[in-house]
Chains A and B, each alone.
Chain A
């Protein structure tokens, strides 16, 4: 469950870049660790993100986890369906459960490819 065409942050967000627009979500591993999500808090369209900064949070019944921006740029769209249906992040973390779209400014650094991310979660799982 680690799509090869995506990039990953060490904090378990994924990024898919098309042109200058990045779609951001959290990985299958992350949603599994959190359990059934009950709430997703996202920034407003127009907010500017700085790579590595907190931009929102996800909550389950027993845990809350901050989300960190894997890229820098301006938020141009957020997944509004998550407000009523946070379970989409559990059911489809890489497709319907995407979080936001960002117009990238500057090259993100330190993102992992699928293999490196697989190694990372392997080590965290133990």
Chain B
């Protein structure tokens, strides 16, 4: 499909009719660009048709089952878009509450921030939240910075952060970027064993980052013991909220002893992923970590007014220019209001029910390395199929041909030919059954005619793409390529 630049016709006008005075009236020529940028010149219909056609070359939750493990691709309710588009929110300039007397112009927005923080505190059992981090990984970085600030303030000399080998790659990257040495800990029978933790735990450990349930979909049942061990060396326990959808109403991470938690509102609380963002990654903390939260914070005065509060001398400072991705957590807030107490717990229950149902139905066709009760997701291994020369990647592509998005593949790294499936609570049983039937049919095809699977997909706008050519060729724009 041609790019918009290839369709551009110089002189064709876009949708801007007014003309100002020449820029040279106001700014000397030597401070101006010497030629036009080369942005597209296309009519509005050209643009509309181009992007409509482009959109048709995409899978999304609205059109396809999207069981991408660890990404919680649940349905994004449409009413949240109505909220997100309310001019009372979209038109607000972010510096308003910083102006004397202008805070009264944005009381509704400050109330949204305050109320969202309160709800997240109650859902997770934490003492306080910041909504500033703009994605999950940004929340992680904020969390590890909080960890560093806590220990610096206490005079602790801490240099290491423990990360399980099943963790998301962002965990070790976040810890390293905040200046810590990363110590990896091996999972045993799919979870963290206290003995394994003991081998790496010492006084220099600042904390441990944990995903619970972990990326294998397994609950970390040694949690109480792990919490106690970390307390002994004054290390903080960090909760990666990627998998919060598995425990809402069943466990609160604050109650069981986590000190820092980041949530992925775009996962658990159904805000759209938008092809890779924007997300929202609020960070919650226990009481002892609260003084270090980023500024500003929203305070509710006795008269019911909301104000920004910067008076936190131990704060780590600013991680975002303002209050985070307001437009995103506004939708998450509406979603929480809509579901309420029972709805949130039901979401978790049905996510777990659906995952276990699929796991059971797939256990004959595929190797399931940890075949016991899982939480909201589970992993398959295509090792049996690999013996026929068909890899997890091939199976993923064959699923695309059936109209399903593929599961997460080759992650977590500790399972060979890994396929990680997360159905979410919003998919009906017929969809789950169709996916299972299709996956079993693919497994059968691997036995009878593996080449068909190896050559998938064949029904999409393109077949498999040459990634090596892309990396070597460096064609990163219309204007750049390696000779």
Contact status A38-B471, CB under 8 Å: yes
Q: In the complex, how many residues of chain B place their beta carbon closer than 8 angstroms to a beta carbon of chain A?
A: 6
CB neighbours (8 Å) of A87 from chain B are 472
Alpha-carbon distance between A36 and B467 when the two chains are bound, in angstroms: 10
CB neighbours (8 Å) of B471 from chain A are 38-39, 59, 61
How distant is B474 from chain A, measured CB to nearest CB, in Å? 9
B468 at the interface (CB under 8 A from A): yes
Residue of A nearest to B393 (CB): A62
Q: What does DSSP make chain A's interface, helix, strand, loop or mixed?
A: mixed
Residue of A nearest to B472 (CB): A38
Residue of B nearest to A61 (CB): B467
User: Which residues B367-413 have CB closer than 8 A to chain A?
Assistant: none
B428 at the interface (CB under 8 A from A): no
Contact status B482-A38, CB under 8 Å: no
Alpha-carbon distance between A28 and B408 when the two chains are bound, in angstroms: 31
How distant is A51 from chain B, measured CB to nearest CB, in Å? 23
Alpha-carbon distance between A39 and B472 when the two chains are bound, in angstroms: 7
How distant is B450 from chain A, measured CB to nearest CB, in Å? 21
A70 at the interface (CB under 8 A from B): no
Alpha-carbon distance between A61 and B471 when the two chains are bound, in angstroms: 7
CB neighbours (8 Å) of A39 from chain B are 471
A86 at the interface (CB under 8 A from B): yes
Alpha-carbon distance between A86 and B482 when the two chains are bound, in angstroms: 13
CB neighbours (8 Å) of B468 from chain A are 36, 38, 60-61
Contact status A84-B467, CB under 8 Å: no
Interface mask (A54-79 → B, CB under 8 Å = 1, otherwise 0):
00000111000000000000000000
CB neighbours (8 Å) of B483 from chain A are 84
Alpha-carbon distance between A84 and B473 when the two chains are bound, in angstroms: 9
Interface mask (B451-483 → A, CB under 8 Å = 1, otherwise 0):
000000000000000011001100000000011
Alpha-carbon distance between A61 and B472 when the two chains are bound, in angstroms: 9
CB neighbours (8 Å) of B467 from chain A are 61
- A59, A61, A84: residue with the most chain B Cβ atoms closer than 10 Å: A61
Alpha-carbon distance between A80 and B467 when the two chains are bound, in angstroms: 23
CB neighbours (8 Å) of B472 from chain A are 38, 86-87
CB neighbours (8 Å) of A60 from chain B are 468
Chain B interfacial positions (CB closer than 8 Å to A): 467-468, 471-472, 482-483
Given contacts A39-B471, A61-B468, 10 further A-B contacts (CB under 8 A): A36-B468, A38-B468, A38-B471, A59-B471, A60-B468, A61-B467, A84-B482, A84-B483, A86-B472, A87-B472
Q: Which 6 A-B pairs have the closest CB atoms?
A: A38-B471, A36-B468, A61-B467, A38-B472, A61-B468, A61-B471
